[in-house]
Amino acid sequence: MKRKFIVNCFLILLIVNLGIAKDIYHLDFSKEPPLGNLIYEVSKGVKKEKENDFYHLALMRPESFLRIYTPVSKDINPLRVILKITAMTPILPYAENWVPIEILVNDKIIVRGWDIGSNIYISPSFDITSYWLKGSTNKIEIRLEKEANGELWLKSIEVVVYER
């Protein structure tokens, strides 16, 4: 009985400390049409492709981008805002790939010159709390840098807003 009480107290403290996810925004490009609750636009050099019965969004040429717009956020300061992307850079046989990307939130660079360098999907997360605009639409952009000589495949994007 005492152990169960301690575990419950620990879980409550963990939830209070981490916050509770209040808003979850996502885009899933593995479906046709893409599923989600975000508005997006793409540049030239971006197209939807199918590979092994699943789709992905392929950024195929330097300076191509995916731009995402969130609904108007609440007019309060969130505890934490996390951006999670699920992406890969396919390795081409007999070719050396360099696929550096930039990630911008509200026109502020949070990542520059990062090459995922993985032939399998990975899901890195980024804390974008300090870039988040309260009471406004937020813009997130994932862009291939001009030195890129390969492709970036995006499977999904998720933005989670935590509040106390």
- Which is more confidently placed, 98 or 144? 144
Supply the DSSP symbol for 122.
B
Cβ–Cβ < 8 Å for 27, 70: no
d(CA 151, CA 101): 10
Q: According to CATH, what is the number of the domain 21-163?
A: 2.60.120.260
- For residue 70, pLDDT over 80 is answered with yes
Query: pLDDT digits over 6-49, tens only?
Result: 656 555 545 555 557 688 999 999 999 999 999 999 999 999 99
Query: pLDDT digits over 82-131, tens only?
Result: 999 999 998 877 777 889 999 999 999 999 999 988 889 999 999 999 99
Q: Identify the helix (H) or strand (E) that includes residue 11.
A: helix 2-18
pLDDT at 69: 97
- For residue 77, pLDDT over 60 is answered with yes
- Residue ranges covered by each domain of the chain: 21-163
In order, the DSSP letters of 101-112 are EEEEETTEEEEE
Specify the pTM.
Answer: 0.84
pLDDT at 5: 60
- For residue 54, pLDDT over 80 is answered with yes
State how beta strands 20-28 and 152-163 pair. antiparallel
Amino acid, res. 149: N
